[in-house]
Structure 1
Amino acid sequence: MLTAFARAFKTPDLRKKLLFTLGIIVVYRIGTNIPIPGVDYRNVQICMDAAQANQGIFGLVNMFSGGALLQITVFALGIMPYITASIILQLLTVVIPRLEALKKEGQAGTAKITQYTRYLTVALAVLQGTGLVATARSGALFQGCPVASEIVPDQSMFVTITMVITMTAGTAAVMWLGELITDRGVGNGMSMLMFISISATFPSALWAIKEQGSLADGWIEFGTVLLVGLVMVGLVVFVEQAQRRIPVQYAKRMIGRRSYGGTSTYIPLKVNQAGVIPVIFASSLLYIPALIVQFSSSTAGWATWITKNLADPGATPHIILYFFLIVFFAFFYVAITFNPEEVADNMKKYGGFIPGIRAGRPTAEYLSYVLNRITWPGSLYLGLIALVPTMALTGFGANQNFPFGGTSILIIVGVGLETVRQIESQLQQRNYEGFLR
């Protein structure tokens, strides 16, 4: 492994890409620690040290921003507006014929959709920035903190607009940094920034578990969490790499004196075809009722029921609804991203067929049947992984932040595997041995 790292840095062009990526990561981490104008950073730190942040509602966005959201920094919104915009555009591509036609135009159409994603990202950043500023001004960002209402001392319109513009510009800068990594660095830039944001919160979360532990000064809890984390990483790697390979045979064709085709390949159908998208969808959908109750400040019966059953991650209705939403969105996302009829038509067009299955409609029905069968274990796996933090909170105490589980572990393992594959492919262009043996 160490020799592979040394070989990567000995290759001039790969070394430039790795150093460029590390430089962008340093710039990103600096931006996540620079407070925006109009915020009393001392009061923010008082509330952060008291560990009274409302993680139930803002936990997902705070995780994607590397802890910058609750500190109200320049990169407070992080990569979340871009993720939301990308998901919305991906869903609209199936619904709107114009976007579907752009997607089929190749590189030019993809560039146009990317431009739409950028515009939507800026618009969502304005909305989310306004909501964050309003929440910080009202003192609801840190529940129970005595100085929560003094985080934004000057609540004039000019200061509010300045704060929103600064966070929107920070989101645009994050988007630009991610695209720079994609073009001139290693791996997918947006995924890499997500990876860095999530992993940056791991040391503090692990140390908090040690500090709040009671067995052997917290070292037993610390070691237990590390052991569970390693087991979960191994499980996630195993499932993420698992796939069902459907064999495809291409008929031999004679064109002039040359023969073409006659080769055999396969269609890889992953067990977790949807990735981490269903978890993000389900989390975002469950946060909406809690946000409505918080901004309405209502004491009616329906508001009390939502606060008790949906806003609390440990409540039984929340856990059940969260699990079923993940399973539903897993099937929903796979259905809109993988079209068996389109795959069957393309195979038929180029003379391909699945052994024992007729080309055309029978092939599409067979692909749908196989896809539904492997999506079931994939969706159940996603639901169980997403519930690990909730079970950990119950086992280690309600104020603990269990780092290994849910969206974080899925993103870290997925991005790590993809980045290693890209480095390995570039190493194999110059050496017979790759990054991993």
Structure 2
Amino acid sequence: MNKFITSIKNIFAIEDLRTRILNTLFFIAIYRLGVYVVLPGVDPTRLKTGAQGLFGILDTLLGGAFSHASIFALGIMPYISASIVLQLLTIAVPYFQKLQKEGESGRKKINQYTRILTIPIVLAQSVGFIATINAEAIINPGTFFTVSTMIIITAGTLFCMWLGEKITDKGIGNGISMIIMIGIVSRLPGAIIGEAAAKGVNKSLIFLLEMVVLFLVVMAVIVLTQAVRRIAVQYAKQVGGTTQLDAQRQFIPLKVNAAGVMPIIFAQSLMFVPAIVASVWQNQSDTASYIGVKFSDYTSWQYNLTFGLLIIIFTYFYTAISVNPNQIADDLKRSGGFVPGVKPGRDTSEFIDEILTRVTLPGAVALALIAIFPAIALLLGVTRPFSAFYGGTSLIIMVGVVLDTVNQVQSYLLMQHYDGMMKSGKLRGRTAQPISIAS
């Protein structure tokens, strides 16, 4: 406890770090206030009490902005959609592949294209959002309400983008990820209180057991997020002029879960397709009716088995587009590095690809288990709001953002010659001299 208090004092003793933390809190406060500003022309007392299905997941990521019909109703999610589209274009379109290889200037152009693409996406999604608002809540429905709401929601999303960029530039951590995490965390206190009230005094031991299981699940997600398979790399002795550099030994860190949360997002978006398709023929076929019922219930074994298999497939897919063994092998060869016992070039690429394939399997299976664990928790008697924090997109995003933020704070402390927040001075799974993996 004394070490923790000392670390907090050291954090606020560094002027730049203190300013960045205060700036981050200020921008987050602005975002949270905007979540409760209802769209003009909407009666908040007549809104639906809660969102279900895909809208419920979206509402959780947005911290309630969707169900409140807020000016930030879509938040930063259209920007995330645009980012995913641009990532896929860097694989299929040579122009974007070229931009990705141009370094900082190429990344700036891709970011600019992402911002531009966000506008048509949010305009299209705002039409869908207006359709979800129950008619009784709209005071004066019509063309004017639709057009004005589309403009306001688009402006709200662009403002959220601006807040995210400001947090990245003037604050601490990744701004876009921070905004999503704050929306998720804002639901946690209410979920815990609701769970405690549901269990009551008679089942207080069960509630305590649930908290212990939640802690263990969080620890498992941290291990999955931080776990890496290190491939040793040797650099030959280099001589330049009068300077001689001794041989160095570093490593390539291949993450067990290189795909992050993206496989769950992709799989979740596809899991609504069977129920939608089955609803068209549900009155004409018993099989369609059966599929519609089972895939509308995310606690059914049919739903979770399909969901888990899709996550495993998408984990391999996203890892393949994120980590390029050929490029890693080429970079090593150009810089004079080699994997001991493996020939440079093609053999190195095949060696890295084989290891990547092996370590991705346990990562994919673990990710699938974490994704379906909220459904298991719900079946075991945990309330729906609290069960969402037992895994899935919400928990992985929270853990990832917190770890990245802690790592940034750690770097500031070590640069100022303070003791880090961890006893080892660095987070597990990280090193002072990693070799970056180009995507």
For the criterion TM > 0.5, the same-fold answer is: yes
TM-score, scaled to structure 2: 0.91
304 and 119 in structure 1: CA distance in 2 versus 1, 3 angstrom threshold: farther
1:5 aligns with 8
191 and 19 in structure 1: CA distance in 2 versus 1, 3 angstrom threshold: same
Aligned-partner Cα distance in 1 for 2:31–2:405: 18
Is contact 1:57-1:290 (8 Å) kept? no
1:428 aligns with 414
Offset, 1:6? 1.4
Picking from 174, 178, 184, the partner of 2:164 is: 178
235 and 398 in structure 1: CA distance in 2 versus 1, 3 angstrom threshold: closer
Offset, 1:171? 0.7
Q: Which runs of 5+ in 1 are unaligned?
A: 140-148
SS in 2 for 1:272: coil
1:404 aligns with 390
1:191-241 deviations in whole A, cap 9, x for unaligned? 11111011011111222222333x635534432332111111111112222
Aligned-partner Cα distance in 2 for 1:306–1:165: 39
2:368 aligns with 383
Offset, 1:358? 0.8
Is contact 1:186-1:422 (8 Å) kept? yes
2:428 aligns with none
Task: Report the residue type matching 2:41 in the other structure.
Answer: G
1:80-132 deviations in whole A, cap 9, x for unaligned? 11111111111110111100111111111111100111112222111111101
Picking from 352, 359, 373, the partner of 1:374 is: 359
Is contact 2:51-2:67 (8 Å) kept? no
1:210 matches 2:196: yes
Task: Report the residue type matching 1:98 in the other structure.
Answer: Y
2:136 aligns with 150
Task: Report the residue type matching 1:41 in the other structure.
Answer: P
* Within-5 A mapping of 1:259-274: 259-260=244-245, 262-274=247-259
* Within-5 A mapping of 1:122-161: 122-136=119-133, 139=134, 149-161=135-147
1:259-283 deviations in whole A, cap 9, x for unaligned? 2351110000111111111111111
Task: Report the residue type matching 1:388 in the other structure.
Answer: F
Aligned-partner Cα distance in 1 for 2:363–2:419: 32
Task: Report the residue type matching 1:368 in the other structure.
Answer: D
1:335 matches 2:345: no
Aligned-partner Cα distance in 1 for 2:294–2:51: 16
Offset, 1:381? 0.5
1:104 matches 2:101: yes
Is contact 2:34-2:71 (8 Å) kept? yes
Offset, 1:309? 2.0
Picking from 157, 175, 178, the partner of 1:189 is: 175
2:184 aligns with 198
Task: Report the residue type matching 1:429 in the other structure.
Answer: M
1:310 aligns with 295
Picking from 334, 353, 360, the partner of 2:345 is: 360
1:116 aligns with 113
1:32 matches 2:35: yes
Offset, 1:287? 2.8
CA RMSD of aligned residues (A): 2.0
Task: Report the residue type matching 2:191 in the other structure.
Answer: A
Offset, 1:79? 1.9
162 and 306 in structure 1: CA distance in 2 versus 1, 3 angstrom threshold: farther
SS in 2 for 1:246: strand
133 and 290 in structure 1: CA distance in 2 versus 1, 3 angstrom threshold: farther
Task: Report the residue type matching 1:119 in the other structure.
Answer: I
Aligned-partner Cα distance in 1 for 2:386–2:143: 36
Picking from 45, 59, 78, the partner of 1:42 is: 45
Picking from 81, 89, 103, the partner of 1:92 is: 89
Q: Which runs of 5+ in 2 are unaligned?
A: 424-439
1:63 aligns with 60
Is contact 2:100-2:107 (8 Å) kept? yes
399 and 341 in structure 1: CA distance in 2 versus 1, 3 angstrom threshold: closer
Aligned-partner Cα distance in 2 for 1:416–1:398: 25
Is contact 2:231-2:253 (8 Å) kept? yes
Report the identity percentage: 40
372 and 321 in structure 1: CA distance in 2 versus 1, 3 angstrom threshold: same
Aligned-partner Cα distance in 2 for 1:303–1:40: 38
Aligned-partner Cα distance in 1 for 2:256–2:296: 31
Is contact 1:64-1:79 (8 Å) kept? no
1:245-303 deviations in whole A, cap 9, x for unaligned? 10000111222332235111000011111111111111112134546778x79855476
1:39-78 deviations in whole A, cap 9, x for unaligned? 110112xx42xxxx34222122111101111111111112
Is contact 1:242-1:271 (8 Å) kept? yes
2:433 aligns with none
Is contact 1:209-1:218 (8 Å) kept? no
1:248 aligns with 233
Aligned-partner Cα distance in 2 for 1:205–1:380: 28
1:73 matches 2:70: yes
Q: Once structures 1 and 2 are overlaid, which stretch shifts more, 258-267 or 87-96? A: 258-267
Is contact 1:308-1:315 (8 Å) kept? no
299 and 68 in structure 1: CA distance in 2 versus 1, 3 angstrom threshold: farther
291 and 135 in structure 1: CA distance in 2 versus 1, 3 angstrom threshold: farther
